[in-house]
Chains A and B, each alone.
Chain A
Amino acid sequence: SQQGEEDPQALSIQEGENATMNCSYKTSINNLQWYRQNSGRGLVHLILIRSNEREKHSGRLRVTLDTSKKSSSLLITASRAADTASYFCATGRGLQGAQKLVFGQGTRLTINP
């Protein structure tokens, strides 16, 4: 089955810096979503970008999608210690009401105070 790949696998930066994570996938998609997971917890949905969109913003988050390169990036600006978590991209296929998500391997982000 399709598996997204994310890089870097781990990222450690200073508070206040920007963090960029990338995601690549292999097959055609309807949308791509980004999730955050704090250690040992469930997933929090961050943002969804549809296949016909190129860029989307939500607060300090900026997501880009390049369907020709089958890649997406998540930028977190002005990072905070509370942003420390694992970040996963997930690609969705199928109809909205029954889509299955395929998750990337994730990036473990550490924000150092």
Chain B
Amino acid sequence: GAVVSQHPSRVICKSGTSVKIECRSLDFQATTMFWYRQFPKQSLMLMATSNEGSKATYEQGVEKDKFLINHASLTLSTLTVTSAHPEDSSFYICSALPVGHEQFFGPGTRLTVL
């Protein structure tokens, strides 16, 4: 089956630093990937749609300069949380969309900003 990986699975950083999270589709290509954020005991909220070779599309209320998305290849999208603050602490989940199929989700990255 389709496998999506995320790296790192868990990261702790100091306030003001930047953190990069990778999302990879391991056995398929995905021109479209999605990034979600999930706060404790809450639902997933779509942050942005990552399109290979073009700019990401951000949902309303999501700062594109704070959450930088790069989809440089058909198997890799990265999310960089710039100048992270404690309120950015969350569970970040990506998904990849193979053509003609449903989204496959990564295992998530737990970000803790001190």
Contacts and interface: CB of A to CB of B under 8 A. Distances in A.
B108 A40 contact: yes
A49 B91 CA distance: 27
Contact of B107 (A41, A48, A106): A41
Interface residues of A, number: 24
Interface in B96-110: 97, 99-100, 102-108, 110
B113 interface: no
B63 interface: no
A25 interface: no
Contacts, number: 54
Interface in A16-39: 33, 35
Interface string A33-66: 1010000111111001000000000000000000
Contact of B46 (A44, A102, A105): A102
B42 A1 contact: no
A75 B94 CA distance: 27
A103 to B, nearest CB: 5
A1 B43 contact: no
B12 interface: no
A100 B43 contact: no
B43 A96 contact: no
Contacts of A35: 105
B78 interface: no
B46 A100 contact: yes
Interface string B15-46: 00000000000000000101000000111111
Interface of A: 1, 3, 33, 35, 40-45, 48, 88, 96-106, 108
Closest 5 CB pairs of A and B: A42-B107, A43-B105, A103-B43, A103-B44, A42-B105
23 contacts: A1-B60, A3-B43, A40-B91, A40-B108, A41-B108, A42-B4, A42-B93, A42-B105, A43-B44, A43-B93, A45-B105, A88-B43, A88-B44, A97-B32, A97-B99, A98-B49, A100-B34, A101-B103, A104-B43, A105-B42, A106-B42, A106-B43, A108-B41
